Structure 1
Amino acid sequence: MKLIFNSYRPFKIACSSCGLFLLALSFCFTGFGQSPVIKTEADTTQIRIGEQIQLKITVEADSAAQVIFPEGQTFSPLETVEAFKTDTNRVNDRMILQKIYALTQFDSGQYVVPIQRIEIDGAGYFTDSLMVAVGTVPVDTTTQKMYDIKPLIQVEKNNTAFWIKLLVSILVLGLLGWIIYRVFFKKKPLTQEEKEAILPPYDRALMELKRLENSRYLIQDEYKKYYSELTAIVRAYLEEEVHISALESTTQQLIEKIELLKDAGELNLEEDTINQFNKILQTADLVKFAKSKPPTNVAENDRLVLEQIVTKTHEAIPEPDEEELMQREEYLLELARQKRKKKRRQYGIAALIVVLLSLGSLAVYMGPQNFWDTVSGNPTKKLLEKDWVSSTYGFPPISLESPEVLLREYKELSAEEKEKIREQHIFEYSNPDALFKIGTKSTVLAQPEEPDYEKTLEQVLKDLGEAGARNLITKQEEFTTQTGVKGIKVYGRGTFSLPESNESERGQYAIYLFGGNGFQQVIVLTWQDDDPYAEEIIDRIQNSLEVKTEA
């Protein structure tokens, strides 16, 4: 069954002569503009609880007209389930727009779909109202057996997610440990150069002289390179073993330094050995600077002589005395201290890398914002994640879940209030760090009368203002608890004063008003704006909220 309502009705002409004139005039100007036509069409006016009706609004207007359909829950007391996309058609110079709304209701009764305002080029046009009957679903208890509620069944907790997380964590930490071990602690095999570098000066000098013997310098007639490397090996040895500046000294200066050490008794070399060394150094100078070229056998013999000089020099160094041994021991202790310091630095860097990588992995796993709020100790996150308390407050009772228990507040009633109020119970919880507050007030009236919600709301807003709230934006809607108790919800945003401070912060509030014959219940919530954890707390409190319908 479809019902069609046409909200556009042409007016009647009072005077026939005038009517004929206007009719003729309308034919003349038909092409210049016509009034919009609005039709309301419903597929049915009788549904059962939870079923839907399809309400179609059709607007016929000029092709250039701007049409705005109603949005949101404007069909109350029916609930808008879905607003479908607007369908547009054109017929000549006219535009036909159709929009379908799916509506439903979960309580039986007769309901009127209210008049809807359609805005066309800034002007308002209205649809017709519609009566809808919502019936209950019949239950046949003669053919359908009734069964008791089944008992609770113990279900084992599924720990699959936990074991997966644990395995991933172990793998990540194992990989980090392996990388740190490879980078910082595993001893890498020494290269040939490193092995030679850690040899004693005497052994290293002999090895380098043997390597020079097997070189191809003399075969390739490269005497300059041969003698340069030959003298450099011996000079480096003297500098390390005898502790004289041999590499930067000329031949004469080096011989003078050796003779001084000999005279001082610090180097027991024979004079003949010093003269041989001086002669080879002079030959090397001639080769390097005068382009002299000694016979090959002389060059080879010079290498053998220097090898013997290195050995004699090594043997000529006297044994260190007690002071030198002490200095050497201090030197070794200093080396050990530096080595330990280097190890500690490596351990510190490794630990820092482990911590940073662990924190980074945790941040990726938890999400950057959630991770930061956890590390910084976000107060509303702490409230959300702690063990909540489910309790009943006052009389008539108000039941809700909250992060903390609400504490009783005592307020002295004025003489005027005592005439209207028989008893009153106030409970509050406030967290200044989270800018979060919960308050409940249960009132038993002195007379069996309906509560004045407007006056109560005015008093609550006044109390918020005295607490420092400013520029409160107020919205109102009907609120229904999980058990079907209906009340009023007033909510909005504003500026709230920070505790013990002259500063203020943007925040939100919600006021829930319930009541009946001779009693009233009020719940007030305030929290910081743009706080996702506070929003979750408010949703949880709101979903747990229950009140009695009579005192």
Structure 2
Amino acid sequence: MQKKFSRNIKIINKNTPLKLFLMLVFLMHGNLYSQVKTSVDSTKVKIGAQVNYTIEIEADTTQLVVFPETQTFSPLEVIEFYETDTLKNNDKYRLIKKFGLTQFDSGWYQIPRQKILIDERSVFSDSIYVYFQDVAVDTTKQKLFDIKPIIEVDKPKSKTWLYILIGLLIVALIAALLYWFIWRKKPLTEEEKIAQLPPFERAKVELQKLDNSKFLIQDQTKEYYSELTRILRSFIDEKVYDRAMESTSGELVEHLEMLTEAKQLKISNEIIQQINTIFRRADLAKFAKQDPDMESAKSDLNTIDKVLDAINKALPEPSEEEKLLNEQYREAQERKAKRRKVILTSAIVAFLLIATVIGFGIKYGFVYMKDVVIGKATLELLEGEWVDSDYGMPPIYISTPEVLKRMDAPVPAEFKDKIKITAFGYQLEEELTIAVTTTNLTEPQENLDLNAAIEGNLQTLESRGITNIVTLNEKFTTPNGAEGIKTFGTLSVPKEKKEGYIDGNYVMLSFTSKDVIIQQIVLVWKANDRYANEIAERIINSVELQPKSK
């Protein structure tokens, strides 16, 4: 879309009616109002040298005189605007305005007629020719060198790397926290180390801890016997009878006797009786509040220690199948623990991602988040590094997301001595087109019809297949006070590779400069693209036609 459109951003085109062009170029001239004298300090200078161009006017003391204060001397360039000198002669003022001009190409150049306003009437100065001659170079003394090749200038570095670095640091911090709290092999506490021991060794260690405790010293007999019987029950529960922890003392002793009679557990009746005695004494201590003496309690602990040895010795050696099952059980437990860690880690990461998306979505909008992820081109332009530059002569100061490149602006042969067109543009496929054009007329025209130039551009667009052009016009003023016309609306542009049309919006800013120059800025972008809308608004608000103050 944009490539087709950019070729139509021309004030003069082969398809533009000749009548429209004649309306643009041949307009009425103003009448001379007062005595105007024009002079230059030299009509022949070297290229790059300054020519002082002077305008003198005699006017009444009550009249308001306004000299040109903008770049209206094309193709010459203004080096300096000098202050106006005022000399009084009786009831007349003699006003002298001087301009410093130059040119960097050799040849004869015409200083265009300049319009001066006296009150509300216009007068024009005379045009003067100045010759800029080449500087002689003695090639016998000065070596000649080839033209330097074009070099690429690096674009300003964006802050993308900073955002990536911050993101990586956040990811690293989250990974470190997950490792520290979930995956790290934490140092085991003493209780955890004891719990991982085999049943017999664990029971032995627990008996040793009970022997070193202060239960008996502090007359905590109930707590002492509760822990003593728990150690024995826990060992029997894991190695002999898996319901030992929930059985009563009598039921447990009775089951041990049955196992002994059935020769499934080879322990003596004396051992069973010792177990029964200690259980009864423990029941009395826990429920009848009968406290055995310290020596009996110590003796019972030693008895339980021997009972553990006897039962462990009586247990058969585990078969290879049991060892395999135990190994499989251990591996299954490890896999289960690892699976729990994976699930917990995945849940935390998913929660953080969802929370991040929701948080950014609430703050910036979910559509914006989607466009960031897929990399929408107009969004990247909007948030990228913008370029502030000027184009054409006199310059158009404008801010754009990319540098505008010079475009060909062909002029019909019959008009080459009447106008000169310079054009700069940028195209983003079918999303966005930016174009800046400057048309210089060789002869100044009073009351230049800017609407004719606008209408000519619109007719050229229609000739290229663009349809449904809705046109609205309104007055437009740049931030530094330059006034022009803003033409805007909607249109339908043929697709480049497919059938059908693309709905778009357009804005055309048009200005005139002292009736010798037409300057236009044209923007076309795809409809319903909010980023392109913001780009267009930002570009329009940046347009200035006067040199920026230093």
TM-score by length of 1: 0.50
Letter in 2 for 1:509: Y
Are the aligned partners of 1:473 and 1:493 in contact in 2 as well (CA < 8 Å)?
A: yes
Q: Which of 277, 280, 283 matches 2:278? A: 280
Bigger relative contact order, structure 1 or 2 (CA pairs below 8 A, ≥6 apart) = 2
Which amino acid counterpart does residue 205 of structure 2 have in structure 1? M
> Structure 2 CA distance, aligned partners of 1:315 and 1:438?
94
Deviation for aligned residue 1:249 = 0.8
Structure 2: gaps (5+ residues): 1-61, 71-80, 84-112, 137-146, 385-400, 412-420, 437-448, 544-550
Question: Residue type matched to 2:228 in 1?
Answer: L
Match of 2:507 among 510, 513, 526: 510
Which residue of the partner structure matches residue 312 of structure 2? Answer: 314
TM-superposed CA distance for 1:312, in Å, is 1.4
Residues 371 and 284 (structure 1 numbering): CA distance in 2 closer, same or farther, change over 3 Å?
same
Alignment match, 2:295: 297
Task: State yes or no: 1:247 paired with 2:253.
Answer: no
In terms of mean alpha carbon deviation, does 310-319 or 170-179 score higher?
A: 170-179
Deviation at 1:377, TM superposition (A): 2.9
Within-5 A mapping of 1:354-393? 373-381=371-379, 390=405, 392=407
Deviation, 1:167, is: 7.4
1:389–1:402 CA contact under 8 A, matched in 2 = yes
Q: How does 1:157-172 map to 2 (within 5 A)?
A: 165=162
Instruction: Specify the alignment match of 2:427 in structure 1.
Output: 403
CA contact (8 A) 2:265 2:314 kept: yes
1:202 to 200, 203, 206: 200
Q: Match of 1:228, as an amino acid?
A: S
Q: Which residue of 2 aligns with 1:15?
A: none
Report the CA distance between 1:309 and its aligned residue. Answer: 0.8
Map Cα deviations across residues 47-97 of structure 1 (whole Å, 9 max, x no partner): 5625899xxxxxxxxxxxxxxxxxxxxxxxxxxxxxxxxxxxxxxxxxxxx
Cα distance in 2, alignment partners of residues 200 and 391 from structure 1: 85
1:110 aligned to which of 109, 116, 126 = 116
Give the whole-Å Cα distance in 2 for the aligned partners of 1:226 and 1:370. Answer: 68
Could you list the per-position Cα deviations for residues 209-246 of structure 1 after superposition, in whole angstroms to 9, with x for gaps in the alignment?
A: 22222233323333222212211121122222335212
Query: After superposition, what is the alpha-carbon deviation per residue over 1:333-391, rounded to whole angstroms, capped at 9, x for unaligned?
Result: 3123324434544665687699889999999xx99997653213324336777998947
Tell me whether 1:528 sits opposite 2:527 in the alignment: yes
Cα shift at 1:201? 1.9
Q: Which position in structure 2 is the counterpart of 1:492? A: 488
Partner SS state of residue 403, structure 1: strand
Contact 2:466/2:493 (<8 A) preserved: no
Instruction: Say which is worse superposed, 151-160 or 340-349, in terms of deviation.
Output: 151-160
Query: Do 1:437 and 1:527's aligned partners in 2 also have CA atoms closer than 8 Å?
Result: no
Look up the match of 1:260. Answer: 258
Give the Cα separation in 1 of the matches to 2:457 and 2:151: 47
State the match for 2:267 in structure 1: 269
Map 1:430-449 → 2, pairs under 5 A: 431=430, 434=431
1:431-479 CA deviation, whole Å, 9 max, x = no partner? Answer: 3xx5x57899xxxxxxxxx99657657768989999567xx56124589
Contact between 2:426 and 2:435, CA under 8 Å: does it hold in 1? no
Taking the aligned partners of 1:313 and 1:43, their CA distance within structure 2 comes to 128
1:513 CA displacement:
8.2
Contact 1:45–1:131 at 8 Å: present in 2 too? Answer: no
Distance (whole Å) between structure 2 residues aligned to residue 133 and residue 152 of structure 1 = 48
In structure 2, C-alpha distance between the alignment counterparts of 1:498 and 1:282, rounded to whole Å = 101
Give the whole-Å Cα distance in 2 for the aligned partners of 1:467 and 1:174.
55
**Map of 1:120 onto structure 2:** none
- Which letter does structure 1 place at the counterpart of 2:505? Q
Computed over aligned residues only, the root mean square deviation of the Cα atoms, in angstroms, reads 6.2
- Partner of 1:248, secondary structure, is coil
Give me the whole-angstrom Cα distance separating, in 2, the residues matched to 1:132 and 1:331. 105
User: CA deviation digits over 1:268-298, x for unaligned, max 9?
Assistant: 2222111110111111112222222333322
> What corresponds to 1:100 in structure 2?
none
Aligned residues: 376
Per the alignment, in what secondary structure is the counterpart of residue 287 of structure 1?
helix
- What is residue 59 of structure 1 aligned with on the other side? none
Query: Residues 206, 255 of structure 1: CA spacing in aligned structure 2 closer, same or farther, 3 A cutoff?
Result: same
